[in-house]
Amino acid sequence: MGIITDTVILDKIEKALNEIRPYLEVDGGDIRLIEVTDDMIVKVKLLGACGNCNISMQTLKNGVEVVVKRAVPEVKEVVEITSL
Measured distance CA(45)–CA(81) in Å, rounded: 6
Q: Is the dihedral of CA 75, 80, 81, 84 positive or negative?
A: negative
Across 4-33, average pLDDT? 95
For residues 73 and 6, the model is more confident at 73
Q: CA triplet 50, 45, 9: central angle to 5 degrees? A: 125
Q: Is residue 69 part of a domain?
A: yes
* Residue 6 predicted with pLDDT over 80: yes
Question: How many domains does the structure of the chain reveal?
Answer: 1
pLDDT tens profile 39-64: 999 999 999 998 888 888 899 999 99
The 3-state DSSP class for residue 79 equals strand
Q: Is residue 39 part of a domain?
A: yes
Q: Is residue 48 part of a domain?
A: yes
Q: How far is CA 21 from CA 1, 14, 38, 74, in A?
A: 28, 10, 25, 21
pTM metric for this prediction: 0.92
Q: What is the pLDDT of residue 83?
A: 59
Domain containing residue 49: CATH number: 3.30.300.130
Residue numbers of the domain that contains 51: 7-83
What's phi and psi for 44, nearest 5 deg? Answer: -130, 165
Across 12-23, average pLDDT? 97
